[in-house]
Amino acid sequence: MLNKEFLLKIGLAEMLKGGVIMDVTNSEQAKIAEDAGAVAVMALERIPADIRADGGVARMSNPKMIKEIQSVVSIPVMAKCRIGHFAEAQVLQTLGVDFIDESEVLTPADESNHIWKHDFKVPFVCGCRDIGEALRRIAEGAALIRTKGEAGSGNIVEAVRHMRAVQGEIRRIQTLASAELTSYAKNIGAPVELVQYVKENGKLPVLNFSAGGIATPADASLMMQLGAETNFVGSGIFKSQDPAARAKAIVMATTNFNDPDMVAKASEGLGDAMPGLEMSSIPEEEMLHKRGW
């Protein structure tokens, strides 16, 4: 049986299931997101596409801006801290943020260590590219995992790669003999107990959401069909031509992800999607998903 504190953390993640979490940078955008049926908003100063364009060090958002967003919406408000920056996380917890994203979108503060998330009462979500990274973050106390994708790219290819990597390894672990688990755990760099959990249950010990590249209703449907339990949408909404319409359409496509007629209907008349970036055009050192380990 789970301890009570962790039950509350993964319980909130359960409440977000099957929904869309939207990046917002001010209270007007937060309101648009809530009115479009978002299950939560991620408050950040610049959306990933702008962080990418602006360069420089990206940090935790200004508390004043987070408070403004908290005051205008009734849905959960999330915020990002830098990888390993537990003091930023302490500030976010004090502000009453509902979920903290220890995120590769911000400039990492610690290149060796992620935050020890068991020390916090507020739940954390962390990014991953593969099963080993997912299980390491869960060992540190993450109550929710999201595959990283490539934030601010408007290109779904990395999100698909990471989701397929995680789901594929979950299937593979289920075929392992018990005697093979220790060596497998050693190779992926994750605790054997968590690998054993995956073998026995056929899933991660926490929910797995998708992030990093969703720009259209069909992208949202694709990620849900590949095994995402909820979609994070960052730049895809507020970098598009008609954010309110696109937000609503992505919510509709996420709920009805397995109904192509509904996804088609949601995709009509949305104006232009964000332009998006070809992966080969992003210099290696600017790849956000390579941050963290």
| DSSP states of 164-213 | HHHHHHHHHHHTS-GGGHHHHHHHHT--HHHHHHHHHHSS-SSEEEE-S-
Is 290 an active-site residue? no
In sequence order, the 6+-apart residues with CB closer than 8 A to the CB of 277 are: 153, 154, 155
Q: Is 180 in the site for other proteins (CB under 8 A)?
A: no
- Exactly one of 69, 115, 122, 194 binds other proteins (CB under 8 A); that residue is 122
Distance CA 104, CA 124 (A): 13
The 86-115 site mask, x for binding other proteins (CB under 8 A), equals -------x--xxxx----------------
Task: With contacts defined by CB under 8 A, name the span among 9-17, 101-109, 182-190, 220-228 that binds other proteins.
Answer: 9-17
Strand stretches in the chain, DSSP E: 20-24, 40-43, 77-82, 99-103, 124-128, 144-147, 207-210, 231-233
Q: Is 269 in the site for other proteins (CB under 8 A)?
A: no
Q: Is 244 in the site for other proteins (CB under 8 A)?
A: no
Q: Is 121 in the site for other proteins (CB under 8 A)?
A: yes
Task: With contacts defined by CB under 8 A, name the span among 3-11, 130-138, 183-191, 238-246 that binds other proteins.
Answer: 3-11
CA distances from residue 113 to 110, 149, 293 in whole angstroms, order as listed: 6, 21, 9
The 59-78 site mask, x for binding other proteins (CB under 8 A), equals -----------x---xxx--
Q: Is 43 in the site for other proteins (CB under 8 A)?
A: no
Q: Is 205 in the site for other proteins (CB under 8 A)?
A: no
